[in-house]
Structure 1
Amino acid sequence: MTAAVRLIAAPLSALSIPQWDEADRPRERLLRDGPATLSDAELLALFLRTGVPGLTAVDVARSLLRRFGSLRAVLDAPAAALQDERGIGEARAATLIAVSELCRRALAEKARERIALNSPSAVEDFLRLKIGTRQNEVFVCIYLDARHQVLDIFEEAHGSLTRVAVYPREIVKRSLALNAAGLIVAHNHPSGGVAPSASDRNLTRTLQDSLALIDVKLLDHMVVAANDIFSFAREGWL
């Protein structure tokens, strides 16, 4: 068998991406057929750009997906965890974190552009994507006008793996500045459970009472995990 025949017969993983047939290269396929035709690993590989000795960028991307378990988990991983993976240095970790932040900001823009955020399922889907897989607790406020149109979406506080400090006074001040009529608040539980703690319930009561003084209605407090959400409103706790 000639060397040329052996090269053609070799699996794609044994070749660098520039050696692949043009019809198989992720970048060319994306431009020719659209991004939906690429796998998660192939899309990630476009951001990684190059592989490492013995591994293509697609191989490195597949390894990331295996380690973290999902695309969302990869994009929510902290820099230190990403850099534990072979082929991911500071520059590539920074690129992936930047991509994740761009996705979050694009989602926030899309939510602001909606005519009305009056579907509980739409709110839940948005919050799962925004904070459901964060590694640390984040407290988010969605400020609404009288027609439930989104005025602003703001991450009011960032915390540790198990707690986040929230200051109702700051939320009241922002509500007044935006002339908000309603508010949905949410925070994530990185542990995966969504049962509210006693402090979650106390904070909800404090927020509800504080906002009532300025005629702003607390519409819901949601506790968010990657695959589940607890709604105070749905449970009749508001």
Structure 2
Amino acid sequence: MTDYVSTIDDAPLAATPPQPLTRVAEASGAPARSPLLHGKWHKKDMPRERLINQGPAALSDAEMIVLVLGSGLPDHDVFSVARALLDRFGSLRAMLDATYADLDGIRGLGPAKKAQLLAIMEMARRSLVDKMRRRSLMNSPEAVESYLRLLIGGRPQEVFVSLFLDARHRLIRCEESAQGSLTRMAVYPREIVRRALTVNAASLIVAHNHPSGAVQPSASDCRLTHTLRDALALIDVQLIDHLVIGADSVYSFARAGWP
């Protein structure tokens, strides 16, 4: 069985800039009105009130972080902390991959707030995993793609993951099968086959991310897909799909007819 090295030719894109903390009306071209009155926020312009009245989609990324944090520390208002987080990570998606240490050095963000952010992010991941374990993934491709975009879509380096499924296409477990650099990753099909046997999987969905954001597979991605598909067939395990995860889109080998 051939070992495989995947290479990305695309140059990485710049991180997505943080969204400004502005009212939706301003962004849409409606007459702008300052949310401040005598140095203080109008109550109806505060994130909590806007979420209640207009729904969560009306809030910017910074405002969502403000609601999660609730308050800042003395001399560091919560809005400044939210902007500092987006400046550090570039986007909410990149924040999902943050560790406790990654949050160090942000003024106004103490141990309790760090733990609060990490807990919210982990809750989002676990809720998607629970959804996948309760239903056939053949009937929930959107749940699979949402989970994978949450899991690896914002990683700064390539990551290859394997979703091992039972005979009813429910998730047994999800594992990182390989990690690489920004442009290179080694994937070993024989190890994935071995793990499929170990966990008694009946089928697999595999995926990897492109840190550049482009999802069009390379020639080496196609070779790996066919090598892995043939190797799994030898042990009567079906490769259901290979997904390439980008910043805003997903490529499916199965939907594309296994090119």
TM-score, normalised via structure 2 length = 0.67
| CA distance 1:217–1:125, change in 2 (3 Å) | same
Paired residues for 1:95-114 under 5 Å:
96-97=117-118, 99-114=120-135
Asked whether the 8 Å contact 1:222–1:229 carries over to 2, the reply is: yes
| CA distance 1:96–1:165, change in 2 (3 Å) | farther
Which gives a bigger RCO, structure 1 or 2 (Cα 8 Å, sep 6+)?
2
| CA distance 1:69–1:174, change in 2 (3 Å) | same
After TM superposition, the runs of 4+ consecutive aligned structure 1 residues lying more than 6 A away are 78-81
Alpha-carbon distance in structure 2 between the residues aligned to 1:84 and 1:98: 19
Paired residues for 1:154-233 under 5 Å:
154-233=175-254
Is 1:147 the counterpart of 2:168? The answer is: yes
Asked whether the 8 Å contact 1:208–1:218 carries over to 2, the reply is: yes
Asked whether the 8 Å contact 2:125–2:147 carries over to 1, the reply is: no
Work out which of the residue numbers 151, 154, 163 in structure 2 matches 1:133. 154
Identity %: 54
- The aligned length equals 220
Unaligned runs of 5+ in 2: 1-36
CA RMSD of aligned residues (A): 3.6
Alpha-carbon distance in structure 1 between the residues aligned to 2:212 and 2:232: 29
Alpha-carbon distance in structure 2 between the residues aligned to 1:52 and 1:190: 34
Shift of 1:212: 1.0
Which structure shows the higher helix fraction? 1
Alpha-carbon distance in structure 1 between the residues aligned to 2:216 and 2:228: 19
Task: Choose 40-49 or 198-207, whichever is displaced more.
Answer: 40-49
Unaligned runs of 5+ in 1: 1-8, 14-19
Pair member with larger Rg: 1
| CA distance 1:108–1:164, change in 2 (3 Å) | farther
Shift of 1:236: 1.7
Q: Identify the residue that residue 28 of structure 2 maps to in structure 1.
A: none
Q: Identify the residue that residue 5 of structure 1 maps to in structure 2.
A: none
TM-score, normalised via structure 1 length = 0.72
Q: Identify the residue that residue 255 of structure 2 maps to in structure 1.
A: 234
Cα deviation code 1:50-71 (max 9, x no counterpart): 5356431233113423564532
Alpha-carbon distance in structure 1 between the residues aligned to 2:255 and 2:238: 15
Asked whether the 8 Å contact 2:205–2:242 carries over to 1, the reply is: yes
